[in-house]
Amino acid sequence: MNWEQLLQRVYDDVAPSLGEGKVADYIPALACADPHAFALSVATLDGAHYGVGLTRTSFSIQSISKVFALKMALSLEGVELWQRVGREPSGTPFNSIVQLEREGGVPRNPFINAGALIVTDALVTRCGQVDAVSRLIALLHQLSGSSRVACDPEVAASERTWGDRNRSLAYFMRSFGVLKNAPEIVLDAYFRQCSITMTTHELAQAGLFLANDGVDPLHGGRVAAHSEVNRINALMLTCGHYDMSGDFAWRVGLPGKSGVGGGILAIVPGLASVAVWSPALNAAGNSLVGTLALERLSERGGLNLF
Ligand code: GLU
C-alpha cells in the first residue's frame, strides 16, 4: 500500500469541508480550538509512520483516553468490571443521564461518560486517586514512545469548573451503590484523564497494540491479553461514537473511538492504527471532518472490515 499517496488523496478529498461543524464549547478551554486544523497519522505494524497535516501538534484527546483507561481497568479488575458497566450501545448522547435511572445506575457501556466514570472508579480503587492518572500517563508514554504525553492543567481546571453534568452522573450512580469511591475523588481523576494531550503521531502509535493482538510493537512485549483486545475493539466498533456509533460503523467499518477535542482513534486489525484530529464536531460530538477522512481512507485503502 502506498500510504503517503493514500493520505494525500484523503486530505485532498476532505480539505474543502474543513471548518464545517462546530468546535466543542462546553468548556472555555476547548472553545478556542481552530476549526480548520487537521492532522491524520497512520502507524503500521512494521514500524512505519505516515502523516499529513499537523501531526506534531498536541490536542486534547478527551474521551479517547477511555480506551486506555478501559485497557488498564480490564487488566487490574478482569471480568468483575462487567458487573458495574454494560456492553451495549446506548443510543444516547455522551453525557446523557436518562437511561441510568431505568437501569439501576449501571451505565450501558464504558465509553459514555457514566461508564467511563465507573472505569475511573475502578482505577481509583486499584491504584489510588493520584496514581490512577499517573499510571495511565505512564502507559501512554510506554505505548506512544513519547514522554511528552501529559495532562493539560488548564483543560482539567475548565472541566472541573464546568463539570456539573459529570458530577450529576457520578452522584447519581453513587446513590445506586454502583460508584464505589467518593464522587469528587473519581471526578478529579476523570477530569485529569480527559485533559490528556497527544499528537496524532503519538496517538496512532499508542493504539497499535490493538491492531497487533495486544503486543506493543515498539517494545515487543504483550500489554493486553488476546481476549481484552477483542473486547476493546468490539466495544469501539459498537459504542465508540455515542449515538452515532452505528453511523460510524456503517461509513468506516473499523473500530473507532472519538473525543470531543476532535480526535478519533481507529484500528485496522493486523495492519495499522490511525489517528485523525479536526476540532469541528458533528451533532453527536464526533469530529465531522475526522469522520469523513476515515470514511475516505477506509474506502480508498480498502480497509473496511466488512
Ligand atoms: N470531557 C468530556 C466530558 O466528560 C469528554 C466527552 C468526550 O470527549 O466525548 O464531558
pLDDT score recorded for residue 210: 98
Residue nearest to atom 4 of ligand 1 (CA): 113
Q: Is 22 a catalytic residue?
A: no
Cell of 167: 458530577
pLDDT score recorded for residue 129: 85
Q: Report, as an integer, the average pLDDT of 2-30.
A: 95
- On whether residue 101 sits in a domain, the answer given is yes
- On whether residue 172 sits in a domain, the answer given is yes
Per residue in 110-156, pLDDT (tens digit) is 999 999 999 999 999 999 988 999 999 999 999 999 999 999 999 99
Of 260, 268, 257, 264, the closest CA to residue 292 belongs to 264
- On whether residue 185 sits in a domain, the answer given is yes
pLDDT score recorded for residue 205: 98
- For residue 62, give the CATH number of its domain: 3.40.710.10
Per residue in 272-291, pLDDT (tens digit) is 999 999 999 999 999 999 99
Quote the mean pLDDT of the chain. Answer: 96
Query: pTM of the prediction?
Result: 0.97
CA distance 261 to 61: 6
Q: Is 260 a catalytic residue?
A: yes
- On whether residue 86 sits in a domain, the answer given is yes
Q: Is 180 a catalytic residue?
A: no
pLDDT score recorded for residue 277: 98
**Could you tell me if 103 and 175 are in contact, meaning their C-beta atoms sit under 8 angstroms apart?**
no
Q: Is 190 a catalytic residue?
A: yes
pLDDT score recorded for residue 38: 98
**Distance between Cα 255 and ligand 1 center (Å):** 19
Residue 91 has pLDDT above 90, yes or no: no
- On whether residue 126 sits in a domain, the answer given is yes
Q: Report, as an integer, the average pLDDT of 264-276.
A: 98
- On whether residue 92 sits in a domain, the answer given is yes
- On whether residue 306 sits in a domain, the answer given is no
Which atom belonging to ligand 1 lies closest to the Cα atom of 191? 1
**106, 119, 260, 276: which one is catalytic?**
260
Q: Where are the alpha helices (DSSP H) in the chain?
A: 3-14, 28-31, 65-77, 98-102, 113-127, 129-144, 153-161, 164-175, 183-194, 200-207, 226-239, 245-252, 288-301
Of 256, 304, 196, the closest CA to residue 67 belongs to 256
Question: Which residues contact residue 267 at a Cβ distance below 8 angstroms, ignoring those fewer than 6 apart?
Answer: 207, 210, 211, 233, 236, 254, 255, 256, 273, 274
Residue span of the structural domain in which 221 resides: 3-300
Q: Which of 62, 161, 187 for a ligand 1 pocket mutation test, highest count of atoms within 8 Å of Cβ?
A: 62
For the chain, the domain total comes to 1
User: Cβ(63) to ligand 1 under 6 A?
Assistant: yes
- On whether residue 305 sits in a domain, the answer given is no
Per residue in 39-87, pLDDT (tens digit) is 999 999 999 999 999 999 999 999 999 999 999 999 999 999 999 999 9
**Distance between Cα 260 and ligand 1 center (Å):** 6
Q: Assign residue 132 a region (left: φ > 0; alpha: ψ between -120 and 50; beta: otherwise).
A: alpha
Which atom belonging to ligand 1 lies closest to the Cα atom of 195? 1
CA distance 37 to 28: 18
